[in-house]
Amino acid sequence: MLAAYMRRQMDHNHTPPARMANLAAGPRPHGPVLAHLVYGLQAVSLFTGVPMLVGVIVNYLTRGQVRGTWLDSHYGWQIRTFWYSLLWTVLGSVTAVILVGYVVLAIAYLWLIYRIARGWMNLANGVPIYPADRISTQFTNSHPAPDIPPAPTPRQWTPGGGV
């Protein structure tokens, strides 16, 4: 049910007439908002794991909307963060019997904090996770996502001028 709702929200062919006037200037991209939402869900999952599962489902349902854009690197980053953290959590839990698992779990927890922080900071600054040349060769396909603006230029620090 959630999947059908999200597909309707992302598909502009099913836009209600009341919203058509808002789309006259161009559709609003949902990609950055959803990427922020997923990073938030991953951060909450540091205390309980269920939100991370919801976040990866959102990623898989909406990744086609950002395919070929700078946001695709964030979606891939978030998906890999989920799968690798699941892998290391399972391995750490299984090996906790011989006490090595506690070290694995601690390292996995710190790694998860790093992944969330780095990804979310890059997203907030409008920077893809990977360099532009890697994005163009790794993530583009024959169905680029329309209506997603290019990445904004990162904020630059200038001496005496602030941001």
User: pLDDT tens digits for 104-126?
Assistant: 999 999 999 999 999 999 999 99
The answer to the question of residue 66 being in a domain is yes
8 Å CB contact between 38 and 59? yes
Give the Å distances, CA to CA, from 58 to 25, 70, 144, 160. Answer: 27, 18, 19, 42
Domain that holds residue 121: 2-138
**Bridge partners of residue 162, in order along the sequence:** 158
**Mean pLDDT for the chain overall:** 77
Instruction: Taking residues 84-100, report their average pLDDT.
Output: 94
Residue 141 or 74, more confident? 74
The answer to the question of residue 14 being in a domain is yes
Q: How many domains, the chain?
A: 1
Q: State the CB neighbour count (10 A cutoff) for residue 156.
A: 7
The answer to the question of residue 116 being in a domain is yes
Among 149, 108, 115, which Cα is nearest to 38's?
115
